Amino acid sequence: MKNSGNIIKKIILSAVFPILMFVVMLIITASNDKCYVNGKLIFLSTDLIRQVIVNSCMTVCVALAIWLQLKNGRFDFSGGASMILAAIIAGNVGLMTNSPVMALLAAVAVGIVLSCVTAFIYIVGKLPIIICTIGMTLLYESLTYLVFGGQGIRIFYSQAHTSVFGRIPGVLVPTALAVAAFVIFTYFTAAGRKGKVLSNNQRAGVNIGIDERKNVFVTYIFTGIIIGLAAIVYVSQNEVTPQSGLATSGIMFSYIVPVFMGTFIGLASCDVVGIAIAAVGMEIMNYGLNCLNLGAGGWQQIIMGVFVLGFYTFSAQSDKIQAFVSRLTKKNTTAV
């Protein structure tokens, strides 16, 4: 990313995906009379933009939280659970204080605390990350039954004045913060650089003199911030009920596709842009599917599955990736 002309070219390359997605969905919907209400094509309603933006913001927040751990070499199951728990607490705080800002602060605070606890158990227990985070997920999920009488949080998002961070323009605030947190950590902080080193050659990194425990802790603090921000968006858009049986990991999985795709698209620019763009593309697709009334059915699941497989297949061919990037446009056409 040295000269700006280069990066612009890259971003344009990346932008191909959502544009393509838009065109494809437009064609599909336009050719389907289900999608016309008294002659108007609902896919092109202003609602499209609102929905895409709102949902993309949610997706971006969660995806960043997942990706921050992934790119540091850890697959963290507990992100979803932390988010749900933070959401519940934040929502209730928000209701009590009747202030979305308080809710946001609470969410971030809780997010950080939970992440730190996870990091602490991970470091002290020296457990394999997946096992450790499965355990923490179970723990946090069980807590959702114990906080606020296990009520979860219902009416936070259904009240216009509390759920501002779930709608335009409010939703842009936490998203922007999340992106900022991610970018600052990855590209500016020492911890971020160390994390990069560790993820690429853990043992060497430690031998050279990086304090891995400290680094993990710092990384988790930033993850916590992002998770908190994701939580506030989530609780502003959804009813949050107590979860169990690792259901939260399902919630997290449901946002992981943009991570895969994002990192792939991101090859053409940087990962944040990639994830954001992937999210937008996905949401355009989702909206199109909704217009086709495939939005919530089995088909949507299957299409998702195909996407996971397809995109991961591409990004997995790491040796050929550079070639892909050069022919990105063509590849995408075949991918969709």
Partner 1 sequence: MKKALLKKISAVLLAGAMAVSAVGCGNSGGNTSNNNAASTDSGTGAGDSGSAPAVEGKKCTIGVAFYQDTGLAVDSTKAYLESLSDTLNVKFTYTVLTQTDEAANLTKIQELISSNVDGIICTMDLGMTSIIQECEAAGVYLGGYLCDYDTSFNTAYDQVFKSEYFVGTAIDGQSPDDVTIGNSMFDSLIEYNERNADAPITHVSMAIFPTWAFPSQQTGADQFVAAVEAYNATAETPITVDPLDEESDVLAFAPLDTTYFAKHADSQAIISFAAGSAFVYPTMVQAGVDSSLKLFTTGFDGGEEANFGTTGNGTYQQNMVTAPESITYPLVLLLNKINGVSFPDQPAEAERISTAQYVINSDEDMAKFQKSCFYTKNAANAMYTPQDVLNMTAYGNPNATYADLKGILSSMTIDSIK
Partner 2 sequence: MAKATQHELVIEVKNMCKNFGPTKALRNVDVSFYRGEIRGLVGENGSGKSTITSIISGMQKATSGEVFYKGAAWNPGSMVEAQKAGISMVLQEANTIPNCTVAENIFAGRFDEFSVFGIVNMKKLNKAAQEILDSFGISHIKAEDSINRYGFEDRKLIEIVRCVSDDTEVFVVDETTTALSMEGRQLLYKLIHKLKDNDKSVIFISHDMDEILEQCTDLTVLRDGEIIGHLDRSEMDKPNSEQVIRYMMVGREIGDAYYREDYDSSHGDKVALELKNVSLGEIKNFSLKLHEGEIIGFGGLSGCGMHEIGRIAFGLEKPESGSVERNGEKIKGCFEAIQSGIGYVSKNRDTEALILEGSIQDNIVLPSESELSHTTFISPKKEKQMSDKEIASFRIKCGDGRQWVNTLSGGNKQKVSFAKWTAKGSDVIIMDCPTRGVDIGVKQFMYGLIADMKKQGKSIILISEEMAELIGMADKIIIMKDFAVTKEFMRSKELSETDMIEYMI
Partner 3 sequence: MSEKEKVTPADFLKRHVYDIAAYAGLIVTFILFLIFSGSRLSYNMATVLQAASAYSIIALGAVFVYSMGYMDVSVGQQVGVYAILMIMITNAMGGTAFGVVIGFLVILALALLCGAFNGAVAVWLKLPSIVTSLFLMFFFTGAQLLLMESTGTNSISIQATIKPADRNMYNVMLVLAIIVVAIIVTYFFKFSKLGKYTRGIGANEVTTAQCGVNTTKWKVIAYMAFGACVAVGSFIMLTRTGSAGKGTGSGYAMDIMICLILGGMPLSGGMKSKVSSALVGTFTYVLLTNDLTTMGVDLNLINFVKAVIFIAIIMVTCRKRDTILPR
Instruction: Looking at residues 196 to 235 of the shown chain, list those that interact with partner 2 (rule: CB under 8 A).
Output: 196-197, 200-201, 204-205, 207-210, 218
- Tell me whether residue 97 or residue 142 sits nearer to partner 3 (CB atom): 142
Binding mask 164-203 for partner 2 (x = CB under 8 A): --------------------x---xxxxxxx-xx--xx--
Q: Shortest gap between Cβ of 270 and partner 1 (angstroms)?
A: 22
Tell me if 142 contacts partner 2 by CB under 8 A. Answer: no
Token digits of residue 201: 């050659």
Q: Which does 336 bind (CB under 5 to 8 A by kind): partner 1, partner 2, partner 3, none?
A: none
Binding mask 125-154 for partner 3 (x = CB under 8 A): xxxxxxxx-xxx-xx-xxx-xx---x----
Contact 105, 255 (CB under 8 A): no
Contact 166, 108 (CB under 8 A): no
Tell me if 297 contacts partner 3 by CB under 8 A. Answer: yes
Tell me if 68 contacts partner 2 by CB under 8 A. Answer: no
Tell me if 258 contacts partner 1 by CB under 8 A. Answer: yes
> Which string of DSSP letters, residue by residue, matches 140-176?
HHHHHTTGGGGT-B-TTTTSTTT-GGGSTTTTHHHHH
Count, residues near partner 2 per rule CB under 8 A: 20
Q: What SS3 class is residue 39?
A: coil
- Tell me whether residue 156 or residue 220 sits nearer to partner 2 (CB atom): 220
Tell me if 295 contacts partner 3 by CB under 8 A. Answer: no
CA angle, 179 then 309 then 273, to 5°: 20
Long-range pairs, 88-92, Cβ under 8 A, ≥24: 88/144, 88/147, 88/148, 88/152, 88/153, 88/235, 88/240, 88/242, 89/147, 89/148, 90/228, 90/231, 90/232, 90/235, 91/153, 91/156, 91/157, 91/235, 91/240, 92/147, 92/148, 92/153, 92/156
- CB proximity list for 179: less than 8 A, separation 6 or greater: 60, 64, 272, 276
Q: Which does 101 bind (CB under 5 to 8 A by kind): partner 3, partner 1, partner 2, none?
A: none
Q: How many CB atoms lie within 10 A of CB 210?
A: 19
Tell me if 98 contacts partner 1 by CB under 8 A. Answer: no
User: What DSSP element (H or E) covers 28?
Assistant: helix 4-30
Tell me if 12 contacts partner 3 by CB under 8 A. Answer: no
Tell me if 32 contacts partner 1 by CB under 8 A. Answer: no
User: What DSSP element (H or E) covers 40?
Assistant: strand 40-41
Backbone angles phi, psi at 240, to 5 degrees: -110, 115
Q: Which does 208 bind (CB under 5 to 8 A by kind): partner 3, partner 2, partner 1, none?
A: partner 2
Q: Which does 8 bind (CB under 5 to 8 A by kind): partner 1, partner 2, partner 3, none?
A: none
Token digits of residue 328: 């990105």
The window from 181-189, 200-208, 239-247, 327-335 that contacts partner 1 (CB under 8 A) reads 239-247
Question: In the complex, which residues of this chain contact partner 1 (CB under 8 A)?
Answer: 34, 37-38, 40, 42, 45, 47, 50-51, 54-55, 58-59, 145, 149-152, 154-155, 157-160, 163, 166-167, 237-239, 241-242, 247, 250-251, 254-255, 257-258, 282-283, 286, 289-291, 293, 295-297, 300-301, 304
